[in-house]
Structure 1
Amino acid sequence: MQQNKPKFAFYVNMDDYESMSNSYGSTSSTPAKLTTRIQHIRISSRESLRIRSLADHMQYADPQGHAQALGIGSAVWPLFGLLWPSSIQLARKLNNRPVREGESILELGCGLGLTSLMMHKRGAQIHASDCHPMVPHFLKLNQALNGLSDLPYVHAQWGEQSCPDLLASLGLIPAKQRYDLIVGSDLLYEGNTPVQLAELVNQRAKDQAEVWLVDPDRGHRNKFTQEMELYGFELVRQVCLRDRPILTPEGKELPYKGRCLQYQRG
């Protein structure tokens, strides 16, 4: 007899709002205010995290143009601060994967850092990475919320690269290390991403490496697999995630449609 899978209410404390000063790189006496909320994310029956995210999805605060200089316009500026369903799915998948001694891990496009924080909490040697200048600040906030510290962060982006002098002026250290495992969620959102992302993965992956990517069926999965094959990566497993719904605080199911793609080289 098949047992019903446990359902986890991921989103709670939705009304825990705060205003927060965005003083990142600002010389203004009145820094821009960001409205945030704290969400309690239950990854499994034993693992959960509190995540501070943006409450208003239309917020924008780039007083000195740092994000713009990094190629991040006003339309996409707040995306880093949203808790995307695919990030929860990735955290759930990796939570079931044993932590391997000495294994180096890189999360690309970490955003609020849910997966990196979860793996860091479990003792994994993981580096969080993104290209948004506000991500390091939110990572520090979310580490403090969960009693964590010392999660390494590096700057990593695919496509057009940022000026090294700009990164240095912002205190951002570019990713240079090569890793045993590279992970990410909901990264294939534009038509040119498969080529650019596969190139970055190849640069940052060891000769023998794994890649885990959760994709909500945005339509670029096959192209990404083709690009990965050019760098010697084989798609060894696809896990359908349609049977893993996310629940609202009211208990309403929001069905998730996507896949966990697992690649291997060497």
Structure 2
Amino acid sequence: MNNRSMNNRFTIKSVAVAQERFELELFADLDREFSAHFDELSDPAKDLPEPPLFGSLWPAAEGLANYLLQKDWPLRGQRVLEIGCGLGLPSLLCAKLGAQVETMDHHPGVASLLARNCQRNKLKTLTFHLASFQNTSARLGTFDLIIGSDILYEPDLYPKLEDFILRHAAQKCLIIIADPGRYAVSRFGSSLKTKGQYKLEKLMISGHELPIEIHSFQLTR
């Protein structure tokens, strides 16, 4: 990977996923973004969204993208949804391999950055939903493959996430969640496990010391 300066706020990172390469626009300094965010929080008149976690390439997203490519599934024509997409590396990979990809995230800053990354990688702009899985009225359609990376950091929300997934899962949907090994992740998926087969795999990513956990649920309902 290499970085080259773009402007004061963003930089461009070249990312290799096996034989595929992507150019990702992301925050040049995540610490600076967080500082600016929390400085604004001191103003009670401002209603701010979540911290800007979306603007960084997290190890679990790299792990998920590498896992999807290694498995060599026939993604062409498959309907794919990425939950909490952020920069959208796994979605960009799926789109490049011919899938019909939709993305969602609850941070309003994601849409424009994701659109620029699609353009930078010569891909059609992906459908983006500004939504949270906590919204019980959300209806985005059904999907053959539902993916997410590093979205299991709030155990109290696992039931809502599982409900969201089941509402949007096609009959034989495959669900793949990549996680860096958070402490409570073993509690995730109880309702998904009752409707199909569960598998846990671990994948090492170049440049990272710890493996990424890949949790997959193949629904058979």
| TM-score range normalised by the length of the shorter chain | 0.7 to 0.9
Separation in structure 2 between the aligned mates of residue 234 and residue 192 of structure 1, nearest angstrom = 23
CA contact (8 A) 2:13 2:25 kept: yes
Percent identical among aligned pairs is: 27
CA distance in structure 1 between the aligned counterparts of 2:77 and 2:120, rounded to whole angstroms: 27
Q: Does 1:239 align with 2:201?
A: yes
Residues 1:190 and 2:148 aligned together:
no
Tell me the distance in 1 between the aligned counterparts of 2:127 and 2:175.
19
Distance (Å, rounded) in 2 between the aligned partners of 1:105 and 1:132: 20
Matched AA of 1:87? A
Question: Contact 2:143 / 2:169 at 8 angstroms: preserved in 1?
Answer: yes
Q: How does 1:10-49 map to 2 (within 5 A)?
A: 11-13=1-3, 15-19=4-8, 35-44=9-18, 46-49=19-22
User: Structure 2-normalised TM-score?
Assistant: 0.86
Aligned ranges for residues 34-113 of structure 1 at < 5 Å?
35-44=9-18, 46-57=19-30, 58-59=32-33, 60=36, 68=48, 72-73=49-50, 77-96=51-70, 97-113=72-88
Letter of the structure 2 residue corresponding to residue 182 of structure 1: I
8 Å Cα contact 2:60-2:180 kept in structure 1: yes
Partner of 2:215: 261
Residue 145 and residue 101 in structure 1: after superposition, are their counterparts in 2 closer, same or farther (change >3 A)? closer
Q: Which digits, 9 at most, give the CA deviation of each residue in 1:68-106, with x for residues without a partner?
A: 3xxx34xxx210111101101101111133234432111
Give a deviation string over 1:189-232, Cα, whole Å, max 9, x none.
Answer: 112132121111111112221101111110222211224235x2
Answer 1 or 2: which has greater helix percent: 2
Unaligned runs of 5+ in 1: 1-10, 20-34, 165-173, 248-253
Q: Residues 155 and 188 of structure 2 are in contact (CA less than 8 Å); yes or no, is this contact kept in structure 1?
A: no
Match 2:108 to one of 110, 133, 138: 133
Q: Which runs of 5+ in 2 are unaligned?
A: none
Query: 1:48 is matched by which residue type in structure 2?
Result: R
| Counterpart Cα distance in 2 of 1:115 and 1:109 | 11
Map 1:150-189; keep pairs closer than 5 Å: 150-159=125-134, 161=135, 175-189=139-153
Q: Given that residues 238 and 261 in structure 1 are in contact (C-alpha distance below 8 angstroms), is that contact kept between their aligned partners in structure 2?
A: yes
The CA distance in 2 between the partners of 1:176 and 1:101, in whole Å, is 20
Whole-Å Cα distance in 2 between the matches of residues 83 and 101 of structure 1?
A: 25
Residue 221 (1) aligns with residue 149 (2): no
- Matches of 2:91 and 2:170 in 1, distance apart? 19
Whole-Å Cα distance in 2 between the matches of residues 37 and 175 of structure 1? 35
SS at match of 2:2: coil
Q: 1:156 to 1:203 in 2, by over 3 A?
A: farther
Q: Is the 8 A contact 2:76 2:97 kept in 1?
A: no
Matches of 2:180 and 2:157, distance apart in 1: 14
Aligned to 2:164: 200
- Number of residue-to-residue matches in the alignment: 211
The separation in 2 between residues aligned to 1:147 and 1:127, in whole angstroms, is 17
Is this contact kept in 2: 1:87–1:115, CA < 8 A?
A: yes
RMSD over aligned Cα atoms: 2.3
Q: Matched residue of 1:94: which SS?
A: helix
2:97 matched residue in structure 1? 122
Cα 1:55–1:217 change in 2 (3 A) is same
